[in-house]
Amino acid sequence: MPAKKPLVVVTRKLPDVIETRMMELFDTRLNHDDRPMSKSALIEAVAQADVLVPTVTDRIDASVLSQAGPNLRLIANFGAGVDHIDLATARERGITVTNTPDVLTEDTADMAMALILAVPRRLAEGERLVRSGKWAGWGPTFMMGRRIWGKRLGIIGMGRIGQAVARRARGFGLSVHYHNRRRLHPEIEQELEATYWESLDQMLARMDVISIHCPHTPATYHLLSARRLQLLQPHAYVVNTARGEVIDENALTRMLQKGELAGAGLDVFEHEPAINQKLLDLDNVVLLPHMGSATLEARIDMGEKVLINIKTFADGHSPRDRVLASML
């Protein structure tokens, strides 16, 4: 007699090929409407499921996990970041958490590099002007931005994505600097031609562009605080494709309004999907709807990792992408 298939509840619409395979492998409940689940729906899901497949839009906190049924043993997150999941409570309840690392690196790095180029060269402003029909033609002092070649890029968080951004930045003539919890191996530093700064404050004060690539954890919440943002030079730009909570968004907005920073490129926001109206009113900011990893290839790769994590766990083995206690 075949073993009973685990009940898998998926909280958002996934690529068709992934949903089809999931239906073949498991007893699966899909979210055909592709709307974020309410808290009550999440509680109902964890009470019934053997496996929950959430995304960044789902807050799996202690109040949700406290209602988990005895069968819930795996949260197979669709995404690399797990700051929306209460890992400590999951561990206490004996629930394994997995994620989907490695497959988002190149796409997110592409988006970060695009913003590093777009903000100083005022690409979004120029595009809006053309569409408005108000462009009157070329002029010697019209829409002048700042040159990227020869500038200093400070990367906060030199993991897979940070290193991928560094490789791209070298091709555009940027001088690469970085701050990380741990210094990279000398061979990697040499390959990236990257300069390590033990002091984040000292690095911030000397950079032309800052690109954020660290996860959101209690230690990195408002890592770029109002005090640290004040260390940046007025001609500096801030790019964030990591998590909105890493920046004090109100402080950043005030400085952009006052001209104390040259501009920002943001793919993530502190309270997304809500966006500060004052940010929306600024011309020197490029705002994107959390689309850094939004390629078909990345989404399918993420889904395949979720499938492997569930199948491995269901077969009685430890999933390769298990989120360890050290990430707490």
pLDDT at 34: 86
Which pLDDT tens digit goes with each residue over 225-280? 999 999 999 999 999 999 999 999 999 999 999 999 999 999 999 999 999 999 99
pLDDT at 33: 86
Which pLDDT tens digit goes with each residue over 128-151? 999 999 999 999 999 999 999 999
* In the predicted structure, residue 324 carries a pLDDT above the cut 80: no
Same domain, 12 and 48: yes
Same domain, 238 and 124: yes
Which pLDDT tens digit goes with each residue over 50-84? 999 999 999 999 999 999 999 999 999 999 999 99
Same domain, 110 and 225: yes
- In a 10 Å sphere around its CB, with 0-12 CB exposed, 13-18 middle and 19+ buried, how is residue 176 labelled? buried
Average pLDDT estimate for 102-108: 95
> Of 164, 152, 159, 219, which is closest to residue 184 (Cα–Cα)?
159
Residue 144 lies in a domain: yes
CATH code of 70's domain: 3.40.50.720
> In whole angstroms, what is the distance from residue 102 CA to residue 113 CA?
18
Q: Which residues contact residue 7 at a Cβ distance below 8 angstroms, ignoring those fewer than 6 apart?
A: 26, 27, 28, 29, 48, 49, 50, 51, 71
pLDDT at 55: 96
Residue 308 lies in a domain: yes
Same domain, 130 and 275: yes
- Active-site amino acid positions: 243, 272, 290
Same domain, 271 and 314: no
Residue 1 lies in a domain: no
Same domain, 266 and 123: yes
Range of the domain at 54: 7-103+295-327
Residue 165 lies in a domain: yes
Same domain, 167 and 315: no
Residue 2 lies in a domain: no
Q: How many domains in the chain?
A: 2
SS3 60: strand
Same domain, 307 and 194: no
Q: Which residues contact residue 155 at a Cβ distance below 8 angstroms, ignoring those fewer than 6 apart?
A: 162, 165, 166, 176, 177, 178, 179, 194, 211, 213
pLDDT at 264: 98
Average pLDDT estimate for 171-193: 97
Which pLDDT tens digit goes with each residue over 149-172? 999 999 999 999 999 999 999 999
Cα dihedral 72, 76, 80, 84, rounded to 10, equals -30
> Of 268, 266, 271, which is closest to residue 282 (Cα–Cα)?
266
b/e code 159-173 from CB counts within 10 Å (16+ = b): bbbbbbbbbbbbeee
Same domain, 110 and 99: no
Question: Mean pLDDT score of the chain, rounded to an integer?
Answer: 95
Q: Give the single-character DSSP code of 246.
A: G
Please state the pTM of the whole predicted model.
Answer: 0.90
Tell me how many helices (H) and strands (E) the chain has. 13, 12
Same domain, 246 and 153: yes
pLDDT at 2: 56
Same domain, 58 and 158: no
**Radius of gyration in angstroms for the set of CA atoms belonging to the chain, rounded to a whole number:** 22
Confidence band (pLDDT; 50, 70, 90) for 1?
very low
Same domain, 227 and 277: yes
Q: Which residues contact residue 86 at a Cβ distance below 8 angstroms, ignoring those fewer than 6 apart?
A: 60, 61, 62, 65
